[in-house]
Structure 1
Amino acid sequence: MMKTARALFASLLVLSAGALVSGCQSDPDIDISKLGVESDPPDVLYTQGLANMKAGNMAEAARKFDAIDRENPFSEWARKALVMSTFVKYRQGRLDDALASGNRYMAQYPKSKDAPYVQYLIGLTYSKQIVDVTQDQRAAAKTVEAMQAVIDNYPDSEYVDDAQAKIRFARDQMAGKEMQVGRYYMERKEYLAAISRFRTVVEKYPNTNQIEEALARLVEAYYAMGIVEEAQTAAAVLGHNYPDSQWYADSFKLLKNGGAEPRENPGSWIAAAGKKLLLGS
């Protein structure tokens, strides 16, 4: 009985093996490239990726660079491919993927020769996500953070000038958001809430294109609350820094119609902020 069972088991193994071989022989050839596997060496894949970029085939270029990174991890070719993969995904508009690969590169190779460029790409990717001031400005804040890292960590790189320009734009957006909310509160006569927003602009974003209006709105809000001395101080600071501004002309007229004029109170927070404006901080 035992011999019979063993013979039957051996027969089953042979039959199973034969069926497996027969099945493999009958299957059509499999294109391994469709499985995400590349058979070429990394230098060839890299050249192919560059060629696809030049031809405008960004999707195929990304596939080649990703294959190098996946199949040759931590090699020099993988490092170079990760740079190009970040760029290609940025160009494709795959912004989350670009950030993921860019941040991974910076975590692995912060001292490499391409690190300034990748950090700059991260900043560009955030900058591309900045939206209208009526919406959340988280991307603007991230842009400032990423581009400041370019300036602080790679001060001699060729990307510093544009990083500074992108920071100015992002800060204008962030200040614009504060102004938009402040105006919302002004319309509803919620003056304290409005003043809080305008104060943020004056103290935190003094070198943005929102500063003149912020000071003028402070004149309006303080005057509406009957805090004339602070309104006068805001007008005085506005006049000292932007004497030809229409915002100053409007603020001066508002005070004059009420029998007051611009006059700085040295103890006011607005006067302290005004000194920073004069210093160009």
Structure 2
Amino acid sequence: MRAMIKVTSLSLLTVTMIGLNGCQSLKSKSLFGKKDEVKAVKAENSEQGYYNEAQNNLSKGNYAKATANLNDLRTFYPVGEYSEQALLDLMYSQYQHGDYLDAVASSEKFIQLYPTNPQVSYAYYVRGVANMQTASSGVLKYAKLNPAHRDTGYYKLAFSNFQELIAKYPSSQYAPDAAQRMRYIYNQFAESEMQVARWYIKRKAYLASANRAKWVFQHYPQTPVVPEAIATMAYSYDKLGMTDTANQYKQLLKINYPDLLSNDGNVLLENTRSAGDWLNKLSFGVLGKSEKTQVNDSNATGNTATKPQVIQSVQQAMQLQLATTQAENEQLPEMAQPRKVNLGLGLPEEQ
């Protein structure tokens, strides 16, 4: 018992001595040796020195080195003058280096530690953008695949992040770009549902295709795939022999989308998918450092939108909701199911 008390006291003394010097940390040479050597590691630079070195590396695009500088700064000077700004720069550096999960973690840490910081909306923004890119790393990111046909898990998370940002900070300089990204994600979910409907059409499962298209029509009415959803319902009900129902949707097509009907009243599904129809033709704001790169109104909306238009865009985004349930509980045949592989959720290249 005395030996145990002696060791505990020694440990407390060691921690206390190190705690008195903010520029030291513990380093153990061995995890399993009987006599682990424990020594204090002193900071090799001043707080200002770490910060200046980090800024120099950031300006040169040396993001790995900048990340190391900023981590050292926060390790040795956790409550220093630059601790908050260092964390903002850290999430930016991690994002630029492709360490998206780390950027998300740093953003969430900043939100938790500094909720009243004037730049906290930047942390909310970085978290959402990083979550959109989380699955983009790896070899499969180079596959030419419509993002809507990929695993949508991180889209949901990013949508929620942006939703929280514009709800808490609707006047933030990052809100317009967040609103556009929400619109993009919203459209991708609708496109994902329509991809399933097309799969059913090819296999002549017309009831299933009609139900899936109806789901899109009801839950994603503000998306570019709505004309195709209506045409799919008209086509599917026609094939099922439900003529009256099919004619109702054909009438809707005739009024709103006459190009989707032939002269003899047949649905032209091939006309519903024009090239690039599923894309949001937008230029998203470029993620920059919190104190310099501000996503202004013109960059965030992809054009020279006026301030009222930007405000309207944000307000409209607040009304968007992702459907939380499936149209049906049908299961695709095991061997024929579309692959659910994380091929990345990066935004498509500008065309």
2:109 to 94, 101, 104: 104
2:227–2:257 CA contact under 8 A, matched in 1: no
Residue in structure 2 matched with residue 142 of structure 1 by the alignment: 157
Residues 37 and 123 (structure 1 numbering): CA distance in 2 closer, same or farther, change over 3 Å?
farther
Aligned to 1:43: 48
Counterpart CA distance in 2 for 1:199 and 1:157 is 36
Q: How does 1:1-281 map to 2 (within 5 A)?
A: 38-75=43-80, 77-128=82-133, 129=135, 132-240=147-255, 242-244=256-258, 246-247=259-260, 249-250=261-262, 253-254=265-266
Tell me how far apart the structure 1 counterparts of residues 45 and 67 of structure 2 sit (CA, whole Å): 15
TM-score (norm 2): 0.57
Percent identity of equivalent pairs: 25
Residue 126 of structure 1 deviates from its aligned partner by 2.2
Does the 8 Å CA contact 1:141/1:174 hold for their aligned counterparts?
no
Greater helix proportion: 1
* Unmatched segments (≥5 aa) in structure 2: 1-39, 137-145, 268-318, 321-351
Question: Match of 1:133, SS?
Answer: helix
> Secondary structure of the equivalent of 1:253?
coil
Please say which structure displays the higher CA radius of gyration: 1
The offset of 1:74, in angstroms, is 4.9
- Tell me which residue corresponds to 1:275: none
Question: How far is the alpha carbon of 1:102 from its aligned partner?
Answer: 1.3
User: d(CA) in 1 for partners of 2:81 and 2:210?
Assistant: 55
Distance 2:132 2:82 in 1: 29
Query: How big is the alpha-carbon RMSD for the aligned residues of Structure 1 and Structure 2?
Result: 2.6
Higher relative contact order (CA 8 A, sep 6+): 2
After TM superposition, the runs of 4+ consecutive aligned structure 1 residues lying more than 4 A away are none
By how many angstroms is 1:122 displaced? Answer: 1.3
Distance in structure 2 (CA, Å) of the matches to 1:67 and 1:251: 71
Measured in 2, the distance between the counterparts of 1:38 and 1:47 equals 15
Q: Structure 1 length as normaliser, TM-score? A: 0.70
Q: How many residues align?
A: 220
CA distance in 1, matches of 2:67, 2:246: 58
Runs of 5+ consecutive residues of structure 1 not aligned to the other structure: 1-34, 256-279
State the shift of 1:153 in Å: 1.0
Q: How many Å separate the matches in 2 of 1:134 and 1:208?
A: 16
> Contact conserved, 1:127 with 1:166, CA < 8 A, in 2?
no
- The C-alpha deviation readout for 1:75-118, integer Å capped at 9, x for no partner, is 55222211111111111111111111112222222332111111
